[in-house]
Amino acid sequence: TVTAKDAANNTGTDTLTVTYSEELANLTPFKPSGWYDKIVVSNKKRTQKDSYPLYTTDKLYIDLAVINYGPGIAENFWIRLYVDGKKRKQFLAPQLILNWYAYVLDYPIGTLSAGKHSIKIIADVYGNVKESNESDNEYTKEINIINR
C-alpha cells in the first residue's frame, strides 16, 4: 500500500504492485546458417558440413557453436567437448549478448576406431551463468566410423 499527499495536503492510499523480472541468458548449442548441424564432424578443414563416410584412417575435425538466446549477458563460461564420454577440450567463450554465438572451427580429434561414437558439447559446463533454461545446454551427435 502506498500513501501519498497532493499539493493541497490531501492524503490518499492505493495499492502498488511492483514486479521484478531479471533478464537472464539462455545458452544452448546452435546450428549457424550454412552449417550441417550444431556439431560438424569432417575429415577436412574449412568446411561446416559433415563428411560421409568416415573411416578409421581419417583425421577428424570438429566444428561447434553455442548461442545466447536470452536477453541477459553471458560471460565467463566454458564450453566442453566430449568424445565417447571423455573430456577432450574446454573452450573459454567470449561475452555473448542476445542472439550472438561463439564457435570453434577445425578442432582436431585425430582418428577413431571402427564403430559408433558420440560427440557431445556442454555450454556453461560449470554453471557460471544464470540462465532462464538450464536444461538445454547439451547436444550429442552420434557418428559411425568404418574400418579401412
pLDDT of residue 68: 97
pLDDT beyond 90 at 9: no
Taking the C-alpha atoms of residue 127 and residue 77, their distance in angstroms, rounded to an integer, is: 8
- Running DSSP on this structure, what letter comes out for residue 13? E
pLDDT of residue 3: 53
Taking the C-alpha atoms of residue 24 and residue 19, their distance in angstroms, rounded to an integer, is: 16
Dump the DSSP string for 54-118.
EETTPPEEEEEEEEE-SSS-B-S-EEEEEETTEEEEEEEPPPB-TT-EEEEEEEEEE---SEEEE
pLDDT of residue 1: 52
For residue 138, give the nearest of 39, 62, 15 by alpha carbon: 39
Please report, rounded to a whole number, the percentage of residues in the chain having pLDDT higher than 70. 86
Helix, strand, coil in percent for the chain, rounding step 5: 0, 50, 50
Taking the C-alpha atoms of residue 124 and residue 26, their distance in angstroms, rounded to an integer, is: 10
pLDDT beyond 70 at 45: yes
pLDDT of residue 22: 81
Across the chain, mean pLDDT equals 92
pLDDT digits (tens, 9 = 90+) for 79-128: 999 999 999 999 999 999 999 999 999 999 999 999 999 999 999 999 99
